[in-house]
A = this chain, B = another copy of it.
């Protein structure tokens, strides 16, 4: 993972000239391409971890388990949110941890947490480092020092129970590594967020991650059946039972706890048999409103595809305009507009993973409904192209950042009754801050759906963070006012902590604080995340 951006440079695909032209037409002239500063030039604060504490940490996890060098500190200085990347590219790694610690076992995690609680050192659990909401930024709060606790060496498969279709894993195991272990047994976890190539399983559990196929399967909160968590003052172990009425479900207190209650050291998750057939296809729907209505009907009838994404008119236009030359979208953009004589339409991606007979039946029900609503089938090749590129959007962000474009995404979910008004309200709020705002529906539920917004504007030089904050604040206020959740799958982290109380009320906050006091009385765990400051 690049320290200043996303992923593996080999996957980057610079935007084509016509895309940049179109962007300039909408945003105004873009800046020249600017590279991030060199690693050696990144500004790092003086480390403040006491030598004695450092020595004790080394005793606990071994010589190779503690690093305080520049590279390790910079790589753990932030996640992959827009403000993180803006700061890092400009050479600002001021929140960097004083040291990075790699424990190898539950017991070592417990030892490190006990030590840090005694010594007053803040601890930021670090899995894949892919948070886009500031979840792994090493804030030290009121503490004198802060360490990043990298779970990369705690990455084993503990037990695969093929009869019960569960797998117990350590938190640092990466998504692709787990899939590679499951594939030879014909199994899959099925949890595929856009960040899939870099996530850790512990991070997915700690952030209540969703996954692109989660209309059908793969929401992490639906997969977790057992957890083990190490906290500074205790450990919590909840065995894998299929269902229980033994009081409140405390697994649901661990899922989404974002490192503020402790470190997930093991998770037992449901796995599923790999599908015999996978099919992705694209459709053009006449309007966002009608499209959402078809999706509601399908979902409430139990007939929705596993992957379902419906772009609104603006996102459809943006998506076609930014597509690479020679791509299906490019030819579609021309062909569709000419053929239909319409200026708009809503691009829809549908995907199924199932055994062939069932897939055919499910697909035919969907086709019927879409046809009745005037949708036009675009076939499988655009669907396949989406599936191939499904993890690559963050690379485009790096390219746009280099050219002085603010590009950010945010997401929410609400009931079907409130979906249209929420869509309108958030769009309006964002349009005051960004000339380009796109949105798609994804993740259908019988009671509602999620909305995912993307917005672009030219960066205001020197004011990049304030510019972003203003847009983010406006959207977050609009989401809460319209009855949405502050986040459907990005988690709360640093960026949404100020809005959580509006969602769960002062009593909800008090309950989370009570749990934290019980498990982390010194308050060293991931300060400033999830819970509002104070």
A164 / chain B contacts, CB cutoff of 8 Å: 415-417, 447-448
B508 touches A236 (CB 8 A): yes
Stretch at the interface among A279-287, A323-331, A454-462, A512-520: A512-520
B489 touches A245 (CB 8 A): yes
Mask of A242-270 contacts with B, CB within 8 angstroms, 1/0: 11111111111111111000000000001
A250 touches B508 (CB 8 A): yes
A515 / chain B contacts, CB cutoff of 8 Å: 248, 511, 514-515
Mask of A480-521 contacts with B, CB within 8 angstroms, 1/0: 000111111111100010001001111110111011011100
Q: Taking the complex as formed, is A210 at the interface, i.e. its CB lies under 8 A from any CB of chain B?
A: yes
- Knowing A161-B417, A518-B511, the reply to whether A245 touches B505 (Cβ < 8 A) is no
Q: Taking the complex as formed, is A526 at the interface, i.e. its CB lies under 8 A from any CB of chain B?
A: no
Checking B246, B485, B492, B510 against A503 with a beta-carbon cut-off of 8 angstroms, the contacting residue is B246
Q: Taking the complex as formed, is A450 at the interface, i.e. its CB lies under 8 A from any CB of chain B?
A: yes
B242 touches A447 (CB 8 A): yes
> With A and B bound together, what is the CA distance between A296 and B164 in angstroms?
9
- Knowing A164-B417, A249-B255, the reply to whether A243 touches B507 (Cβ < 8 A) is no
- Shortest A210–chain B CB gap in Å is 7
Pull 17 A–B residue pairs with CB atoms less than 8 Å apart, ordered by A: A165-B300, A165-B447, A219-B243, A236-B507, A236-B508, A237-B505, A241-B483, A241-B485, A242-B413, A246-B500, A246-B504, A247-B257, A248-B257, A250-B511, A252-B253, A511-B518, A514-B518
- Shortest A70–chain B CB gap in Å is 33
User: Which residues of A from 209 to 258 have beta carbons under 8 Å from B?
Assistant: 209-210, 219, 221, 225, 231, 234-258
User: Which residues of A from 71 to 90 have beta carbons under 8 Å from B?
Assistant: none
Interface size of A as a range: 35 or more
B415 touches A242 (CB 8 A): yes
- Shortest A511–chain B CB gap in Å is 6
Q: Taking the complex as formed, is A65 at the interface, i.e. its CB lies under 8 A from any CB of chain B?
A: no
> With A and B bound together, what is the CA distance between A219 and B496 in angstroms?
32
A514 / chain B contacts, CB cutoff of 8 Å: 514-515, 517-518
A449 / chain B contacts, CB cutoff of 8 Å: 242
Q: Taking the complex as formed, is A403 at the interface, i.e. its CB lies under 8 A from any CB of chain B?
A: no
Checking B210, B490, B496 against A243 with a beta-carbon cut-off of 8 angstroms, the contacting residue is B210
- Knowing A239-B483, A243-B445, the reply to whether A166 touches B415 (Cβ < 8 A) is yes
Q: Which among A257, A491, A505 has the highest number of chain B CB atoms within 10 Å?
A: A505
A252 touches B249 (CB 8 A): yes
Chain B residue nearest to A355 (CB atoms) is: B301
A413 / chain B contacts, CB cutoff of 8 Å: 241-244
B490 touches A245 (CB 8 A): yes
